[in-house]
Amino acid sequence: MSTSFSDQNYNRSVIGRSLVDLNHLSSETIHSLFNESLKLKTEYAQNKWSKQTELKGLAALLFFEPSTRTRFSFESACVRSGVHPLVLDGGQGTSLEKGETLEDTVLNIEAMKPLFFVIRAPDEFPFLQLAQQLDVPMINAGWGMKGHPTQALLDMLTVYEKFKTVENKNVLFVGDIKHSRVVSSHLQLAEKLNYQVGYCCPDSFMPQQASLMNPRLHLFNKLEQALNWADAAIALRVQKERHFGEKLDLQSYVERYALTPHSVKALKSDALIMHPGPINYGVEMDQAITRDPRAVILNLVQNGTFLRQAVIQSVLNGGVFQ
């Protein structure tokens, strides 16, 4: 199966049933996902969710790359939506070990007619192509370095919950920006919701020059200036598995870019400190930062379950992702 399916080649009205990227979502659709997520959160706190959980069917959650938060959060969201999740976790013990392709794995599981797929897969996976060809809608749960739409959505849900708007907010990324699919999805989301994106990282973590021409982007050399600018500071994990043998000077990274009790003094008093997890403590942040009153790292995880539940409900209702 060819993986060179370009953006022009696929039919957006079919792909709108699926959530592969954020390029074609409207601001209204995103705000209705946010408002639905917050409504679900309130209902969950009031213990109302159990009343709506008659079994609707099965979903196939295929995680071809490692995951903790995203997988459990989609599993929770499925159960809360009355959908039983069938999970492939990493592929150990499956026919992938016999050389079966990811595409064939998906096609065979599609034959069992799940209500939808949730898929985490490497860059080469033909997500857009399959989303157009298959009858079953697909939700992207992390696609190589290309995108992680529900992570960007849950980050901004948390900003929205705090400030009641995300418009014109300054969202700063500190860390391994070059290898981050979370940043890729934020660039798409920032276009829709009109927020500013800041980068603060060493040259070796900076994406290619061409992608830095975006007028929405603010580049910072000094962590202090960057933190001072931010309404939300998102620290990113140094993605050692994506550096393919490059030598990393972590010591000098920590000295200049780590979030520490000292460096976060530069943040505004009402700013948010975020991290999508997993965290390398002592590299991108000190453990003490998790106790800073501005840190919302576990709130993100909690909000992620409701955001994903809202996405699943939309998928079950035919999708609104265009």
By beta-carbon proximity to ligand NCD, the closer residue of 58 and 254 is 254
Q: Return the structure tokens found at 307.
A: 């955001």
> How many residues are there in the chain?
322
Residue from 41, 181, 186, 308 that binds ligand NCD (CB under 6 A)?
181
By beta-carbon proximity to ligand NCD, the closer residue of 58 and 301 is 301
Beta strands in the chain (DSSP E): 57-63, 83-89, 116-121, 138-143, 170-174, 196-200, 217-220, 232-235, 272-274
Question: Which residues, 27 to 56, sit near ligand NCD by CB under 6 A?
Answer: none
Q: Report if residue 175 touches ligand NCD, rule: CB under 6 A.
A: no
Q: Which residues contact 135 (CB under 8 A, 6 or more apart)?
A: 110
Q: Which residue, 312, 305, 308, is CA-closest to 59?
A: 312
Q: Report if residue 17 touches ligand NCD, rule: CB under 6 A.
A: no
Distance, CA of 175 to CA of 277 (rounded, Å): 12
Residue from 119, 166, 171, 182 that binds ligand NCD (CB under 6 A)?
182
Question: Which residues, 124 to 153, sit near ligand NCD by CB under 6 A?
Answer: 142, 148, 151
Question: Which residues, 221 to 240, sit near ligand NCD by CB under 6 A?
Answer: 237, 239
Question: Which residues, 237 to 266, sit near ligand NCD by CB under 6 A?
Answer: 237, 239
Distances (CA, A) of 242 to 179, 181, 204, 239, 282: 7, 11, 13, 6, 20
Kindly state the smallest distance separating residue 151's Cβ from ligand NCD, in Å. Answer: 5
By beta-carbon proximity to ligand NCD, the closer residue of 175 and 198 is 175
Residue nearest to ligand NCD as judged by C-beta position: 237
Kindly state the smallest distance separating residue 182's Cβ from ligand NCD, in Å. Answer: 6
Kindly state the smallest distance separating residue 146's Cβ from ligand NCD, in Å. Answer: 11
Q: Which residue, 149, 189, 183, 150, is CA-closest to 169?
A: 189
User: In 10 A of CB 55, how many CB atoms?
Assistant: 9
Kindly state the smallest distance separating residue 37's Cβ from ligand NCD, in Å. Answer: 16
The CA angle 264-270-275, to the nearest 5 degrees, is: 55
Q: Report if residue 186 touches ligand NCD, rule: CB under 6 A.
A: no
Q: Which residues contact 157 (CB under 8 A, 6 or more apart)?
A: 33, 34, 37, 38, 303, 306, 307
By beta-carbon proximity to ligand NCD, the closer residue of 16 and 276 is 276
The site for ligand NCD (CB under 6 A) is made up of: 69-70, 142, 148, 151, 181-182, 237, 239, 276-277
